[in-house]
Amino acid sequence: MTRPYNFSAGPAAMPEAVLQQAAAEMLDWQGSGMGVMEMSHRGKEFMSIAATAEADLRELLAVPAHFRILFMQGGGLAENAIVPMNLSRGGVVDFVVTGSWSQKSAKEARKYAAANVVGSNEADHHTTLPSPAGWRLSSNAQYLHLCSNETIHGVEFHELPDLKALGSDAPLVIDFSSHVASRSVDWSRVGLAFGGAQKNLGPAGVTLVVVREDLLGHALSICPSAFDYKTVADNASMYNTPPTYSIYMAGLTFQWLKAQTEGALTGIAAMEAKNMAKARLLYDFIDGSGFYLNKVAKDCRSRMNIPFFLRDESRNDAFLAGAKAAGLLQLKGHKSVGGMRASIYNAMPLEGVQALVTYMRDFEQTQA
């Protein structure tokens, strides 16, 4: 039996092979006599699971040796506070606001630092991206924060800005929650990257932080020990009991990612090619239609989250009901934007996007 295609923005569909392996190992991981949930995080079994997950992620994303990989808790919203508690030194921090997520990040940072908005697409209703050349960077910023893919508004930085070329030494902080591991990362431009797992990495409950070593050790005195990056790094993400099962599931997902191929490409490069093909298929169909509409500028459209509208919004309920009947789930748009949203993360196969396009074409015809 084929499962329905699940377009949830997150928590989101996971690779079927990963779920199958997890189900098979639920009561006994590799002959240990324990399920993964039942293992002490200090035991050799779980230590090997965590170490393998970290090494696989480092290989997949080509994370350089001078970056630490941390598995934390609290998701992106907690990181909105944890980043400034660790990096701001109570000084000035810059934000580029490009949608709901970066907006929330800037607001939360004001509890700990003076947050300047140095670039924004609000005037365009978050359908464009402000060009880095126009950002009014603070001379004394401790870092610049941006959200490299806005899940709700569907805009993505296809290239990360080069702050050095803009005359700034501030480290770049990226919230890559909703497109992590969908493409490669240019770490030479990044100081810290964080992301909740529940889109592309695994189940909700584990947060990935990749941080340049020189940024550790500057937490404010009011930073909880459990969220002090240096404490977390010094304890290999086991200062407090880590979300062990979520890390295991992320590890299985990393193995699935490593096994991806597309022509001569493997791993993340293969995944990126697949993601580009999936996004192109859906955007091309929408752009060629007089019935559907995507409002995001073509040069910054997200490959992961594709918000779209029926030009006649009175047909929305019928569209969603028909989609569900056709095995296409969770297509309703975010309440702040309306319309529809197709989230097509790594785990969504091309066949799922093809099925969506077929349904959209058929629906349009029945409404003629």
What single-letter DSSP state applies at residue 304?
S
Please list, in sequence order, all residues whose beta carbon lies within 8 angstroms of the beta carbon of residue 157, skipping any fewer than 6 positions away.
Answer: 129, 146, 148, 149, 300
**Cα–Cα distance between 167 and 118 in angstroms, integer?**
14
Catalytic residue among 56, 135, 199, 278: 199
- Using the rule CB under 8 A, is 77 a contact of its own copies? yes
Q: Which stretch binds its own copies (CB under 8 A): 107-115, 139-147, 270-278, 356-364?
A: 107-115
CB of 343 to its own copies, least distance (A): 10
Contact 60, 258 (CB under 8 A): yes
Residues 185-244 that bind its own copies (CB under 8 A): 196, 198, 202-206, 221-222, 224-227, 239-244
Q: Which is nearer to its own copies, 28 or 284 (CB)?
A: 28
Active site residue 258: no
Contact 70, 92 (CB under 8 A): no
Contact 247, 206 (CB under 8 A): yes
Catalytic residue among 29, 56, 101, 332: 101
- Using the rule CB under 8 A, is 140 a contact of its own copies? no
- Using the rule CB under 8 A, is 321 a contact of its own copies? no
- Using the rule CB under 8 A, is 9 a contact of its own copies? yes
**Cα–Cα distance between 222 and 225 in angstroms, integer?**
9
**Cα–Cα distance between 143 and 93 in angstroms, integer?**
5
Active site residue 135: no
Residue ranges that bind its own copies, judged by CB under 8 A: 3-4, 6, 8-14, 16, 19-20, 22-24, 26-28, 33-35, 37-41, 43, 73-78, 80-82, 85, 108, 111-112, 196, 198, 202-206, 221-222, 224-227, 239-246, 249, 327, 329-330
Catalytic residues: 101, 175, 199
